[in-house]
Amino acid sequence: MTHRERFNNVFLGKPVDRVPFIDAMGACNYPSCLTRWKLEGLDAKADQREVQRLIGFDYARGYYLSVNLFFYPEFEVSFVKKEGNKTFVRNRWGGLEVQQIGSELMHLTLEGPVKDRYTWETVKERLIGNLGKRFPENFAKICKEASLSDYPVYAGDLPAGFFGALREIMGFENLMYVFYDDPKLLEEILDTLCDLWIDVYREMQKYVSLDYIFIWEDMCNKSGPLISPAAFREFFLPRYKRMIEALRVDQLPLFLVDSDGDERPLVPLWLEGGVDIIFPWETQFGLDITQVRRDYPQMGMMGGLNKHALEGTRAQMDEELKKIPYMLEQGRYIPCCDHGVTNEVSWDNYQYFYEKLRELIYKYPPQN
């Protein structure tokens, strides 16, 4: 089977010879991992792609089609100030973000360009139309290459998610107030985003068959969702349904939601909205992905392997992998770490963990 066939068949519940062996979170590994690993035997010229080749991954996430799914034109990036070991920058989405110097964590958006209805009116045209300018000039050629590739073809990712985009547009704190202070404004922004994404993805579908659309939300922490399920049902669920119904053709594309933290309270709502796959199932707060699978036997899942297990002994890594045979045999699941690994992981551990995972993937195909 091709990699593309495997990916789609796994999540459609169709027969496969094995599940894909992918590096879905490799791009999120701490950059300093490479620095460490080169002191432990990795070639000095190696990059993340070379690591993937050495480990033997089939691919990372697939063939990514990059288009503009947010503000167009983008804002001018500008330095704002420096305070101690922190720098403040106005980013390409008009938000004020802070980054701790030397940190490998994601930049934190403190505030977005929209504070209220007035500021929304000044930027909303950047989220409307301009379809021709949102695609690379050689997009038809890129799509032909994607179609001929052996990989699942996808689009989306950060910040193209209903909650994820809102947080960049308004900043988290201001967004929380708008749910109560001006819900009509919130609905207008969400509808604008939904219209934009339907238009852009439909245009893409003229050139290529998308295997999945990546919806970036990051709307949970270890205690659960950052908004209540009731608020999700009121504001987000109708837009999920509208977008997915507009774009689905003969079962594809599949829709994958990326959210860190404890996603479980939102799972029924995502499934009701038409979402097929939820990812990456962080485990540090005690989540048991085998129980999630028992609760939702037909849900697509990726992830669920504790990244911190790779910092331990071989026995600890073996213990973490004990859940994998059951998960693989149940189907609709691709194993990977629940986020990028830290620089506490040795090169030897990294190789050992994925060698054992690959063996399990070949030994335990889904029992469809």
Summarize pLDDT for 170-184 with one digit per residue, the tens. 999 999 999 999 999
Same domain, 201 and 293: yes
pLDDT > 90? residue 185: yes
Same domain, 81 and 212: no
- The answer to whether residue 43 sits within a structural domain is yes
Return the closest-CA partner of residue 28 out of 221, 164, 157, 197: 157
Same domain, 89 and 149: no
162-170 helix and 172-181 helix, angle to the nearest 10 degrees: 100
Domain that holds residue 98: 76-112
Instruction: Give 237's pLDDT tier (boundaries 50, 70, 90).
Output: very high
CATH code, 7:
3.20.20.210
pLDDT at 176: 97
Q: How far apart are CA 163 and CA 218, in angstroms?
A: 8
Q: How far apart are CA 39 and CA 265, in angstroms?
A: 43
- The answer to whether residue 44 sits within a structural domain is yes
Same domain, 304 and 247: yes
- The answer to whether residue 368 sits within a structural domain is no
Count of CB atoms within 10 A of residue 315's CB? 8
| CB neighbour class for 88 (10 Å; exposed up to 12, middle 13-18, buried from 19) | middle
Same domain, 46 and 139: yes
Tokens of 47: 């990059």
Choosing from 112, 132, 163, the residue where a domain stops is 112
280 SS3 class: coil
Choosing from 91, 112, 133, the residue where a domain stops is 112
Structural domain count of the chain: 2
Same domain, 91 and 170: no
Same domain, 218 and 252: yes
Q: Mean of the pLDDT values across residues 333-351?
A: 97
Q: Under a CB-based contact definition with an 8 Å cutoff, are residues 332 and 300 in contact?
A: yes
Whole-model pTM over 0.95: yes
pLDDT > 90? residue 13: yes
Same domain, 168 and 103: no
Same domain, 246 and 352: yes
